[in-house]
Amino acid sequence: MSSRTVIRGGLVITASDEIHADVLIEDTRIAALASPGSQNWSADRTIDATGRYVIPGGVDAHTHMELPFGGTHASDTFETGTRAAAWGGTTTIVDFAVQSVGTTLREGLDAWHAKAEGNCAIDYAFHMIVSDVNEETLKEMDLLIEEGVTSFKQFMAYPGVFYSDDGQILRAMQRAAGNGGLIMMHAENGIAIDVLVEQALARGETDPRHHGEVRKALLEAEATHRAIRLAQVAGAPLYVVHVSAAEAVAELARARDDGLNVFGETCPQYLFLSTDNLAEPGFEGAKYVCSTPLRPREHQARLWQGLRTNDLQVVSTDHCPFCFTGQKELGRGDFSKIPNGLPGVENRMDLLHQAVVDGHISRRRWIEIACAAPARMFGLYPKKGTITPGADADVVIYDPHAEQVMSAATHHMNVDYSAYEGKRVTGRVETVLSRGEPVIDQREYTGRAGHGVFTPRSTCQYLN
Ligand code: DUC
Ligand code: ZN
Ligand code: ZN
């Protein structure tokens, strides 16, 4: 039995177009778009989107549900985190499965499948964190690509945990050059940072703001440069995650001007927050400890510029929430023990809409950086990231005039604070469809754990 939904009267916004159109959904997919009122489609369900935007569901290509980190776990499970994502208009997440040192990629991926399967409200996919490069791991990369896990994160930071040295990075990049994988890089010089951490603590500099001071912008830029050159030597594309420093954007821009397949992602926290937050009195700054760290607010203009000029292509959240009570507090008296990460999976689409309201980006660019480009970058397009016949009916009805105040009191993420507490934004999600099924219906949750399925990905669709 097929079901039909019609969305009438809205402004359909994709990365390429803004058109007033009615949208027909048959079962799980977009079937057709037509001029408003021109088609007398019969439907089981009609959604009146007059005065609303009709946009593709968000694709958040960087989340860490349940991530083990710093002796604790990220506080959102796949169930709570994907429900919160849906509330915020995101209908696909790409989370990071983790290979721990001494284990295989297979073991890591199986463990993450077990955490997610049957629990997600929206569709999900995986990247693989590679912590232990060896002959076996390199062969396993080929197998994972066949299973739709086509991107691999390496860390130039966190020695002794996730860290890879330049040789390990080069080997993984060489493999990716051959098998079509995309290497995602956490670009910070972790060896140098650890020296600065030790020296800061020895001087008695233990407050959260010192986290930002030791993780210097220059050490992000240096690592970014090194990653670019290693990728160039390997002949592989490169995607740099959570770019926060102006100097790192400059490295990416130069590489792109040279014609290299080098891409960059930033996150809302770097666009809207700064070291001012890390320096909040008492231990409040711990709420804003993440890596790469927040930067002085002067960096924000360069990030916005990079997003406008396509030197940065994607905004994802790096959603990695830790409660202030009991988790962030592990680092009282020693900033290096504060678990790194910020909540945000629910806030991204709204914050980026606010960027439209503020004049930083256009409406189409909003959809491009939040939906279409991440889908293309990670091999999900056009199934995800756009509204076109044949695409999954992952659709958000967005009210661009509604006002809201972000707060832990009203958000749905499983974390006891909001990084944007009290922030007033214009625009709000009204209804969310995931493969044609309402997950949020007129601001009521109608989804269910287990609706979301693992979504295998093709290789990167963004290469020159
Ligand atoms: N950065 C974070 O802030 N959290 C988790 C891992 C990372 O690289
Ligand atoms: Zn990282
Ligand atoms: Zn991350």
Q: What is the DSSP string of 385-409?
A: SS--TTSB--EEEEEEEEEEE--TT
pLDDT digits (tens, 9 = 90+) for 228-257: 999 999 999 999 999 999 999 999 999 999
Q: Hey, which of 75, 96, 211, 340 would you mutate to test ligand 1's pocket, going by the most ligand atoms within 8 Å of its Cβ? A: 340
Residue 428 bridge partners (DSSP): 399
The stretch 36-41 carries a mean pLDDT of 97
Q: List alpha helices for 235-387, DSSP H.
A: 246-257, 268-272, 275-278, 299-309, 348-357, 363-367, 373-377
Q: Which ligand is nearest to the CA of 127?
A: 3
pLDDT digits (tens, 9 = 90+) for 285-311: 999 999 999 999 999 999 999 999 999
Q: In this predicted structure, what is the pLDDT of residue 1?
A: 54
CA 340 to ligand 1 centroid distance, Å: 5
Residue 66 has pLDDT above 90, yes or no: yes
Residue with tokens 């009122």: 37
User: What is the DSSP code (8-state) at residue 52?
Assistant: S
Neighbours of 145 (CB within 10 A): 24
Helix (H, G, I), strand (E, B) or coil at 432: strand
Helix (H, G, I), strand (E, B) or coil at 382: coil
pLDDT digits (tens, 9 = 90+) for 122-135: 999 999 999 999 99
pTM over cut 0.85: yes
pLDDT digits (tens, 9 = 90+) for 141-197: 999 999 999 999 999 999 999 999 999 999 999 999 999 999 999 999 999 999 999
Ligand 1: which residues within 6 Å by Cβ? 64, 69, 186, 290-291, 318, 320, 340-341
Q: Hey, which of 63, 66, 69, 338 would you mutate to test ligand 1's pocket, going by the most ligand atoms within 8 Å of its Cβ? A: 69
Residue 2 has pLDDT above 90, yes or no: no
H or E element in which residue 231 lies: helix 217-234
The stretch 309-335 carries a mean pLDDT of 98
Q: In this predicted structure, what is the pLDDT of residue 244?
A: 99
Name the phi and psi angles at 93, rounded to 5.
Answer: -120, 150
Residue nearest atom 7 of ligand 1, based on CA coordinates: 291
- Rounded-to-integer distance, Cα 249 and Cα 397, Å: 33
Q: Is the peptide bond preceding residue 292 cis, with omega within 30 degrees of 0?
A: yes
Helix axes 299-309, 246-257, angle to 10 degrees: 30
Q: Hey, which of 63, 288, 290 would you mutate to test ligand 1's pocket, going by the most ligand atoms within 8 Å of its Cβ? A: 290
Percent of the chain with pLDDT over 90: 99
CA 343 to ligand 1 centroid distance, Å: 11
- Rounded-to-integer distance, Cα 379 and Cα 60, Å: 13
Residue 55 bridge partners (DSSP): 396
Q: Say if domain 57-377 classifies as CATH 3.40.190.80.
A: no
The stretch 329-348 carries a mean pLDDT of 98
